[in-house]
Structure 1
Amino acid sequence: MREPRIDYAAVFQALPGMVALLTPELVYADANEDFQRLAGRTREQLVGRYIFDVFPENPNDPAAAGRRETQASMLRVVATGERDTMALLRYDIEDPERPGRWEEHYWSPVNAPVLDAEGRVVLIVHRVEEITELMRARGGPGGDTDRARVLEAELYTRARELQEVNDRLRKAHARDREVALALQAAMLPSPGPTGRHGAAVRYRPAVGALNVCGDWYDLVDLPGESLAVAVGDVVGHGLAAACAMGQLRSALSAACRVTDGPAEALEALGLYARSVEGAESTTVVTTFIDWDDHTITYSCAGHPPPVLVHPDGTAAFLDQATDPPLSARPEHLPRPQAQTPFTEGATLVMYTDGLIERRTEDIDTGLARLTESLTRHRHADPEILADALLADLLPPAGNTDDTALVVIRL
């Protein structure tokens, strides 16, 4: 039996009740017919506009808090990836046909995330129940005053209960975040000794209560004048991702010490990852730096490629040995590796996707921004260069994904 073809755009428009879609920047992406009708705005007046440009706060009410509470709720959804149910809210709306005239409105909103395949918030579903008439019915002509008061009291009680539940959840999430950060801090090492060569490492957690992820880095001294450097990213958030990260980092550190190259180390890690809950689809890149031969041997499992910046400012991505993430194949296959020479004074930079990826940009834009910043700051020592990269590439208000960064002066 053939499955019916569903026109989801038509379903969205026909949904009963007010429903709008907003981007993480709180810009309207769409609004259904009930939202347009009850809010008194056309789709053209909504789509592409910042929510509080369309619905500013009532300037005649000094106690108005609708904008602040709505904005806080939506930003919590973006930061945590969790649904947020708001308490009963008064938010007046300006009459579009009579500017300066504000109409009293009461709303019961719920904000929910739409996540992409990597668990990032790409849209906010803003569902609103319009209860203004219920609030006005109290004492209104012909209204059932007693019944309206009972309904109002019940609604208020339920709203307060939901608000308390949200507060408890936020506190629990904050505790989970603190534990995950402490766990990561304990497992992420300081740069190991690299002889006369300089190294800098950085880790920046994501903003929000739940978005602590499983990013890691490691530096391992190898026999002779060699150094192994690894950077990885576990899919998921919170304590589970942090725990999986710790197991994988330790396993790769051991594998680098006993294998003949990064490809063999990643093969061993891939076999181990099959027994670690939450390790599926982890991305990682490993490099073996040989100071005597002036070569970098590398292998990549689905991770953004390292960048080698030469002393003259030219930059090359080490992308000739790229393979799928850990456990992405049903069967075990050897992983590729490649080798490239370097000259003294070059810089190797390894990082996780939080440094370069933005929801509204193509990945090539982030990579271009990275190479431009590296070229501009290439003469800075590793510590200063690492800070400059974070300042140039991360949003001022913080990123919604973790970022790990390693800078090695060769």
Structure 2
Amino acid sequence: MNDTAIDYARVFQALPGMVALLTPDLVYADVNEEFLRLAGRTREQMIGRYLFDVFPDNPNDPGASGMRNLAASLTRVAATGERDSMALQRYDVENPERPGEWEERYWSPVNAPVCDADGKVVLLVHRVEEVTELIRLRGGPAGGRARVLEAELYTRARELQELNERLRQAHAREREVALALQEAMLPARRQLGRHHAAVRYRPAVGALNVCGDWYDIVDLVGGHRMGVAVGDVVGHGLEAAGVMGQLRSALSAASRVAAGPAEALNVLGRYAHVVDGAESATAVTTFIDFDHHTITYSSAGHPPPALVQPDGRVEFLDQATDPPLDARPDPIPRPQAGTDYAEGATLVLYTDGLIERRGEDIDTGLARLAESLDRHRDEDPERLADAVLLELLPPGGATDDTALVIVRL
């Protein structure tokens, strides 16, 4: 069934709750059958008439405020285009069959805008939950107060549910924008001569902890050399994506002029000190010299890169590990180490989302990674990256970002 086959007028009339459509001038444009039944009115008494001509405040009650509160809510929705959930309201409604006789009623309204293609509010949806019987159920002053409180709690719970839904939608929109921003900033896979680099990024499941991970691949001056780095920013959403972009760009520039990876991280650490949101960020960078078959590396609080030799032996490069960026008030030179590799070896850099699991020691995750790399070492970098992600990430997705870079040396 498509939209053209649905009779939305009939759907509106069949809605189980009290629903009315008002113009921005608060004139009834339509009401459903349930509204008419519970309000005790006919369509002729409502359609085309001003809301408060149909339901005025009780003139016998100087303290009556229900209609005034409703008018303020509807006017606010018409002006802002935003939904408004009202607290429980008491209305005294005139009996249409006995003029001058007023009935005490309790309604819990929600008002929402209907906008045209240009975003202009053209109608107001006025949905009401009738809770009068709930208030009267036990009778008596004490029972009445208890039921009012219960109804208030019910209303607040519904408001909280609606607020959570709006927050979820806002987070989803932020997540989409942040992921698009991150995708635009992260480099694509690279080919340097016969050396191929495969890159992967997997966002976390849900809105939390997304968009803080990054990677970078740069050509280095002086010989046949490449710089490969990964990092992780604490936080989530657009703020983390923005910080990530700043740190990645700064390290990329520093790597091109630094004497080695330690010096590049020294520069990045000083830069992180003046970047809001860069606190406790981690990074590891490696300089690969393809002519001399060497790797120099330095880490700022990041999980160690893995070097897979052609025979399957996996070595974690953990001899130059230092605290995260901006961890020291007075930076000192960071350590640097180096290692040789055999032709056909594989270098693997990653972020903690690949190996860390709640309640599990990190060494368990590193061992799991080493086993997967050994098992699939003969695959090309693209297939190897897919196999590692498939085996290490939970089937339903991880709760943290995962970045992965694999270079065939």
Normalising by structure 1, we get a TM-score of 0.65
Contact 2:305 2:348 in 1 (8 A): yes
CA displacement at 1:146 relative to structure 2: 3.2
Contact 2:135 2:151 in 1 (8 A): no
Contact 1:301 1:325 in 2 (8 A): yes
- Tell me how far apart the structure 2 counterparts of residues 148 and 217 of structure 1 sit (CA, whole Å): 59
CA displacement at 1:142 relative to structure 2: 9.2
SS of the residue corresponding to residue 228 of structure 1 reads strand
CA displacement at 1:326 relative to structure 2: 0.7
Q: Does 1:257 align with 2:256?
A: yes
- Tell me how far apart the structure 1 counterparts of residues 153 and 281 of structure 2 sit (CA, whole Å): 45
SS of the residue corresponding to residue 185 of structure 1 reads helix
What is the Cα-based RMSD across aligned positions, in Å? 1.9
CA displacement at 1:139 relative to structure 2: 4.3
**Other-structure match for 1:88:** none
**Residues 198-213 of structure 1: matches in 2 within 5 Å?**
198-213=196-211
**Other-structure match for 1:85:** none
Unaligned runs of 5+ in 2: 1-132
CA displacement at 1:308 relative to structure 2: 0.3
Contact 1:206 1:212 in 2 (8 A): yes
- Letter in structure 2 aligned against 1:220: V
- Tell me how far apart the structure 1 counterparts of residues 356 and 346 of structure 2 sit (CA, whole Å): 22
- Tell me how far apart the structure 2 counterparts of residues 348 and 398 of structure 1 sit (CA, whole Å): 24
Q: Does 1:288 align with 2:281?
A: no
CA displacement at 1:193 relative to structure 2: 2.7
**Change in 2 beyond 3 A, CA 1:159/1:292:** same
Contact 2:134 2:147 in 1 (8 A): no
CA displacement at 1:143 relative to structure 2: 9.8
SS of the residue corresponding to residue 183 of structure 2 reads helix
Normalising by structure 2, we get a TM-score of 0.65
**Other-structure match for 1:350:** 349
CA displacement at 1:312 relative to structure 2: 0.6
SS of the residue corresponding to residue 162 of structure 1 reads helix
Q: Does 1:160 align with 2:158?
A: yes
CA displacement at 1:172 relative to structure 2: 1.1
**Other-structure match for 2:337:** 338
CA displacement at 1:168 relative to structure 2: 1.1
Contact 1:137 1:143 in 2 (8 A): no
Deviates more, 1:147-156 or 1:330-339: 147-156
**Other-structure match for 1:186:** 184
CA displacement at 1:149 relative to structure 2: 3.5
**Other-structure match for 2:313:** 314
**Other-structure match for 1:87:** none
**Other-structure match for 2:167:** 169
- Tell me how far apart the structure 2 counterparts of residues 323 and 210 of structure 1 sit (CA, whole Å): 27
Unaligned runs of 5+ in 1: 1-134
SS of the residue corresponding to residue 284 of structure 1 reads strand
Q: Does 1:395 align with 2:360?
A: no
- Tell me how far apart the structure 1 counterparts of residues 363 and 318 of structure 2 sit (CA, whole Å): 14
- Tell me how far apart the structure 2 counterparts of residues 281 and 352 of structure 1 sit (CA, whole Å): 14
CA displacement at 1:325 relative to structure 2: 0.8
SS of the residue corresponding to residue 383 of structure 2 reads helix
SS of the residue corresponding to residue 193 of structure 1 reads strand
SS of the residue corresponding to residue 195 of structure 2 reads coil
**Other-structure match for 1:406:** 405
- Tell me how far apart the structure 1 counterparts of residues 246 and 338 of structure 2 sit (CA, whole Å): 28
- Letter in structure 2 aligned against 1:146: G
Q: Which has the larger radius of gyration?
A: 2
- Tell me how far apart the structure 1 counterparts of residues 179 and 361 of structure 2 sit (CA, whole Å): 30
**Other-structure match for 2:212:** 214
CA displacement at 1:148 relative to structure 2: 4.0
- Tell me how far apart the structure 2 counterparts of residues 319 and 265 of structure 1 sit (CA, whole Å): 18
| 1:257-277 Cα distance to aligned partner (Å, 9 max, x none) | 111110111111111111111
| 1:310-331 Cα distance to aligned partner (Å, 9 max, x none) | 1111100001111111110111
- Letter in structure 1 aligned against 2:163: V
Q: Does 1:360 align with 2:388?
A: no
| 1:227-266 Cα distance to aligned partner (Å, 9 max, x none) | 0000000111111111110000001000111111101111
- Letter in structure 1 aligned against 2:236: H
- Letter in structure 1 aligned against 2:398: N
- Tell me how far apart the structure 2 counterparts of residues 235 and 209 of structure 1 sit (CA, whole Å): 14
CA displacement at 1:222 relative to structure 2: 1.3
**Residues 3-402 of structure 1: matches in 2 within 5 Å?**
139=137, 145-223=143-221, 224-402=223-401
**Other-structure match for 2:8:** none
Contact 1:203 1:404 in 2 (8 A): yes
Aligned length in residues: 276
